[in-house]
Amino acid sequence: MGVTIKDVAKAAGVAPSTVSRVIADHPRISEATKKRVKKAMKEMGYHPNANARSLANRSSQSIGVVMPSSADKALQNPFFPEVLRGISGIAHKMDYSLLLATGETGTEMLEGVERMVYSNRVDGIILLYSQIDDPVINFLLEQNFPFVIIGKPSERIDEITHVDNDNVSGGREITKHLISLGHERIAFIGGSTDLIVTVDRMRGYQMALEEAGLPYLDEYRVHTEFLKSGGQQAVNELFALPEPPTGLVIADDLMSIGVVNMLEECNKRVPDDLSIVSFNNVYLSEITRPPLTTVDIHIYELGVQAAKCLIAKVKDKTEPAKRIIVPFDIKYRSSTKANEAPTRNI
């Protein structure tokens, strides 16, 4: 069916290997024949067969991207499309293809990754999440397969190339902001503590409280998928406390939106009755009501850096494990307000 390298070679009056060299942009080849071959390729509508190349080359020029999907709507978080955009931009530029593996369950995701690796379909893998004791990471490590994770590995941190924010500082800064506004009873709402990102952000929250001499209470921490049943109740309990919080640090913008909505139902207004801050600065956080004060983690850039790292690593297997911290900054918007009844001065 298709035009092959041989056809082109014949037409241009050269050997197939010469054509191959032209494709690869090999240096030692005369301009004259290069031009001639290229002309023939154009005329005949030649396009290299990637599978044949990969086979001969032992390299697929493509990278795998693994993302959680699942029942719990994780994938609906605009974080993913945005990070994908970043990855995709670089991949495109460097002439890499993107293979997607998603899975509803951990098993499915592992299967997907195994398939990618075993079948030689990808040269490297980017993980879009990081959780404790992840079989996917163990597998990749075991296979000594190039990969980078977006987020922070829970173990063997020095062996694993990763691109992350300084979530502890982010949590600290944003909490300090709340404190500077006079809030003293500040609660934290986050997802599963199996996710490193939750843990880090919470640690920052804790640090800020301690530095300010404010109490770090168990009752002020709720971990919940939130979006699931039970999540609402957990939040309700927070406000049933004798001393309910006046400020909320929430680990994710999307959760914030849910919380704002819930509060509204209880006749609590943000920011009048309660200030909230969160993380990610997804596009929605700007158009929602109120616009959210949030830590902008530069999602797109996370994707860009991860792709660059991975490609570098794929090209040169001896690249050492790296750690790249993408700086954050804080978007001050209107979900926060000075606390009107502080019990002391700051």
Partner DNA sequence: CTGAAAGCGCTAACAA
Partner DNA sequence: TTGTTAGCGCTTTCAG
Residues that bind a copy of itself (CB under 8 A): 1-2, 47-52, 54-55, 58, 60, 62, 65, 69, 73, 75-78, 80-82, 84-85, 88-89, 92, 97-104, 108, 111-112, 115-116, 118-121, 227, 254, 257-258, 260-261, 264, 282-284, 287-289, 291
| Residue 284's binding partner out of a copy of itself, DNA, none, with CB under 5 to 8 Å set by partner kind | a copy of itself
CB 186 within 8 A of CB 209: yes
Comparing CB distances to DNA, the nearer of 25 and 340 is: 25
| Residue 334's binding partner out of a copy of itself, DNA, none, with CB under 5 to 8 Å set by partner kind | none
Question: Least distance in Å: CB of 315 to DNA?
Answer: 13
| Residue 23's binding partner out of a copy of itself, DNA, none, with CB under 5 to 8 Å set by partner kind | DNA
Residue in 195, 66, 45 with CA at minimum distance from that of residue 126: 66
| Residue 283's binding partner out of a copy of itself, DNA, none, with CB under 5 to 8 Å set by partner kind | a copy of itself
**Which residues in 57-76 contact DNA (CB under 7 A)?**
57-58
> CA-CA distance, 103 to 118, in Å (whole number)?
18
Cα 229 to its chain centre, rounded Å, is 26
> CA-CA distance, 319 to 293, in Å (whole number)?
39
Question: Least distance in Å: CB of 176 to a copy of itself?
Answer: 28
**Which residues in 17-56 contact DNA (CB under 7 A)?**
17-21, 23-24, 27-30, 32-34, 46-49, 52-53, 55-56
> CA-CA distance, 189 to 215, in Å (whole number)?
16
> CA-CA distance, 98 to 91, in Å (whole number)?
7
Q: Where are the beta strands (DSSP E) in the chain?
A: 62-68, 97-103, 124-127, 147-150, 162-164, 186-190, 221-223, 247-250, 275-280, 293-296, 323-325, 329-331
Comparing CB distances to DNA, the nearer of 56 and 240 is: 56
Q: Which two tokens stand for residue 289?
A: 């009501």
Give me the residues that bind DNA (CB under 7 A), please: 1-2, 4-6, 13-21, 23-24, 27-30, 32-34, 46-49, 52-53, 55-58
